[in-house]
Structure 1
């Protein structure tokens, strides 16, 4: 049986990252992360003052699997800025620690410089 050309989870992901400037696909919600890696990224974004939308991938199995195949990235959380995949927890934390994340967000126009 062949898979349909459109994947509802991928369609949802594409629309979400198109509709919002900064999206974090995560386990849990920003107010109550359900994994340590998601919590770290939420803390970093909050610390920088970046306004973002958190999407709980645990609410739907197809979304949890879909986000991994959407970017070909095996782990969650996943951060998108202006429709572009930035990275997961390790990349975001590293960018924050090296001081790259704040200027990157400012350049993208999602953070007051």
Structure 2
């Protein structure tokens, strides 16, 4: 496993919810990342964010790690969920909230 893959895996495995995004939750740098943060905020869960704009190895490596070409990318309990479109579809159907509940993800303070 490459060093980049190991770094990604360490983050994914050490947090219940991880969002690889452009920017930060306070200052998202694209509309898709902004929407992904809004969805997670609405679900009231704690999540770790990784700003891929700060590290080109992570920005490219996450696409190979998940075999998914776009960012943002959501992981819940180590499992790749998808990007903002999939998050929105799941959220609107109630599936994302159910997944978070089923996996006993910690609620935000």
Q: Which runs of 5+ in 2 are unaligned?
A: none
Report the aligned-residue RMSD: 1.0
Q: Deviations over 1:61-110 (max 9, x none)?
A: 11100000001100000000000001111100000111111111100101
Number of aligned residues: 107
Separation in 2, partners of 1:39, 1:64: 17
> Residue in 2 aligned with 1:27?
22
Greater Cα radius of gyration, structure 1 or 2: 1
Give me the TM-score of the superposition, normalised by structure 1.
0.91
**How many angstroms does 1:111 deviate by?**
4.9
Aligned ranges 1:51-62 → 2 under 5 Å: 51-62=46-57
Moved over 2 A (4+): none
> Residue in 2 aligned with 1:75?
70
Give me the TM-score of the superposition, normalised by structure 2.
0.94
> Residue in 2 aligned with 1:3?
none
> Residue in 2 aligned with 1:18?
13
